[in-house]
Chain A
Amino acid sequence: MSVPGSSFSRRLAAIAITVGALVLAGCGGDSTDTSTSKPSKITIAAVQGNEDAALKAIAPLYQQQKGIQIEIVEFPYDQLFEKLVTTFQANAASYDLVMMDDPWMPKFGTGGWLTPLDSTFGFQRDPDIPSIVYDVGTWPPPHGAVPPAAKGQEAHLLGITIVGNVEMFMYRKDLSDAPGSWDDVLANAKKFNKGNMAGYVVRGKATNPVVADFLPILWSFGGDVFDDNWNPVIDSAESLRAVEFLVKDLKSVAEQGAENVDAADRSRLMAIGQAYQSTVWPGEITEIVENESVSKVGGKVGYTPIPSGPSGKGFGMMGNWLLGIPKASKNGQAAADFIKWLTSPEVQRQYVAKGGIPSRLSLLNDPALNEQNPYFAALAKSLEAGPNWRPRTDQWNAVETILGTNLNAALAGQVTAQEAVQKSAAQIKDTMSQAGYYG
């Protein structure tokens, strides 16, 4: 018993260390994925909500046919972007496929986080799909302003569209004709803004929602966020007019609490007959507005491309959701096979039957399908007319946060439209300058 303590200390430490080791080693550990040619499971990171509903519905079919399990991990919109960036930064193999909103492409492309689909997996352009759809998944972008850092790089296809979203316009066709211009929209809104019904639903929630709602209006009025050299022009005269149109004119005939309304509320208001018109994404149409189990206005809603503004044109906005393959994924080939399967014409038909939004013109112009999905014709028209896309900058998330916060504040009456655009222009300029856009 000369050193009674040492055996004690040894034992106690041994127990603690064993416990710790067991705990750390026993739970999971880094799954050693020996890259077999056929994995048992593919993991897709997807956006929570209407947009991935069809994907979730069609995935079991793949399992049946090919025997590979599809795991879909969902996140709300904002979080999906953050989660993807953090996962890419961690170079983790957590996801084999990622669902991306097209404005995120620049950041992912610049970061070099996605596997080129054309050179690595042999994807080619299918003539049945409008070329703009492929353009939106290509980095650097084939037309429009290109960030200075990406100029001269070889263009690669990084994402394939699985949700052929183009922002459109919906209105109660049983109450009036289609609006041809935003002046018509305002006139109709004033006429029908009474009682329970809002003349126009403003999707005003801060950052992404309000910006998505606003950009078509901005472009139709002849304004824009950037010029060709990435200088902000959100404070130009046309842009200011567009902002005023949103926060004054449309707001005056809009629903209460517009500053907090997002897409789901907007469609819900339409579905229960408390809204007259608004911009809309096709996903909302299939899941809510034309969904018999929840909608009271089925068959009463008409769909058109975005009305024209003082610029003379109406600019639809692309909001495609694409599937891409992270470089860090261990199941690249299996992921590519899945994409090819999903976008093949036969599967696309079943995809549409489950509420999916195709980008194949053959399906969009199919009369039978048009009966069930009345907006297909409008969607085809919008795609062929060449819709606009959001500025192709890897700083878009920051820009959208700035613009969205200021627009939201203007909607809430906290600042004037003038102040909102000036603040936005200054903050955006600062961000772009920090990111090295001005040399």
Chain B
Amino acid sequence: MADPIAHPVGPARPAPAPARAGRREASERRLSLLLLWPVLGVIFAVAAYPFALAVRQSLSAQTGEFVGLDNYARALQNPLLYDALEATGVYALLVLPTEIGLGLGLALLVHRMIRSTAVKAVIFVLAVVPLVVPPVAVGVIARLFYAPGYGVINQVLMRVGVIDHEIGFLSNPVLAMLSVASVDVWQWTAFVYLVLFAGLQTVPRETTEAARVDGAGGWALFRHIEFHYLRPLFVLILFFRMADVLRVFDHVFILTGGGPGSSTLLLSLYLYRIEFKFFDDGQAAALAVTVLVVVSVLYSLVIRVLPVEKG
């Protein structure tokens, strides 16, 4: 039963010659420690030092004196934080189902309807394109579509006569959120498609044919056979995309900067605003530390469910 997820059978280790097995093992172990520990140690130090700095900054005032959990309290009392969390939540609810639904639909469509390998290859190439366009460039493209005055959507609609004045894609809070979400969907649906399509490829042809012969319709086919192969992939996609929603920054920064007001002030943008617009080091550090801790905790919970190698 082919499995799209790489489950290696474990590290490939050259078997030692029987005569020198013991010495080989010992020297190997020593070598591995010699290589690993210094490197890991340096990396850990490089990663931990900023974290320690951040913790210290989160416990200090602008002047440097120790103020305990004051910054954390202020961070929690800031009403903008809840606007940001709400915006992030709305964004996630918009993009995740859409991307998964569209990606799945397209994957099923191509898998079932398209026979020609040439066409599939072309589709594959097309799917790769949105994933590697730099988010700043995608932001620029989005501006060319949605911006007031020169946005091409408005221009075309007005020219054709459907509307008589501009739609405020970036000035209306609801539309602004939809606009930034649409960019995300444009870019990442392809990811869902590629992953699920690879998954569908692993469904054995015989099983599908047998089911069809038995009279299974499209939906039943999906529910009983294909879904079984895709389920771990769904989990994976869900978690990767959710993590990405927390990290989203570039295209929203370019498109709306968090506005209008705070309707598209996603979490990353919120942290940016606190640190680089309000220059509130303490509060920003408190937020950063909190986010890092929460993400780490969530990650250790999630990793058990993720279909990855556990060693």
Contact = CB atoms under 8 A, between A and B. Distances in A.
Q: Do the two chains touch directly in the complex (Cβ atoms below 8 Å apart)?
A: yes
Interface of A: 3-6, 8-9, 12-13, 78, 82, 85-86, 206, 256-261, 265, 268-269, 397-398, 401, 405, 408-409, 412, 414, 431
A161 B43 CA distance: 49
A12 B35 contact: yes
Determine which residue in A86, A256, A268 has the highest number of CB atoms from chain B within 10 A of its CB, and name it. Answer: A256
Contacts of B31: 5-6, 8-9
Nearest to A205: B259
Contacts of A408: 259-261
15 contacts: A8-B31, A12-B35, A82-B276, A82-B277, A206-B260, A256-B165, A259-B168, A259-B260, A261-B148, A397-B277, A398-B278, A405-B262, A412-B171, A412-B173, A414-B260
A151 to B, nearest CB: 19
Contacts of B38: 13
A268 B148 CA distance: 12
Residue with the greatest number of chain A CB neighbours at <10 A, chosen from B165, B171, B173: B171
B261 A405 contact: yes
Interface of B is mostly: loop
B300 interface: no
**Interface size range on B against A:** 20 to 34
B170 interface: yes
A265 B147 CA distance: 11
A409 B30 contact: no
Nearest to B283: A434
B8 interface: no
B69 to A, nearest CB: 16
Contacts of A265: 148-149
Interface string B234-275: 000000000000000000000001011110000000000100
Given A257-B166, A257-B168, A414-B173, A409 B260 contact: yes
B27 A4 contact: yes
B186 interface: no
Contacts of B273: 401
Nearest to A86: B276
A268 B260 contact: no
B28 interface: yes
B49 to A, nearest CB: 17
B172 interface: yes
B27 A3 contact: yes
B195 to A, nearest CB: 33
Interface in B27-76: 27-28, 30-31, 34-35, 38
Contacts of A257: 148-149, 166, 168, 170-171
Given A9-B31, A260-B171, 8 more contacts: A3-B30, A78-B257, A258-B171, A265-B148, A398-B279, A405-B262, A408-B260, A409-B260
Nearest to B34: A9
B214 to A, nearest CB: 57
A78 B262 CA distance: 17
Nearest to B263: A414
Interface in B15-36: 27-28, 30-31, 34-35
Nearest to B278: A398
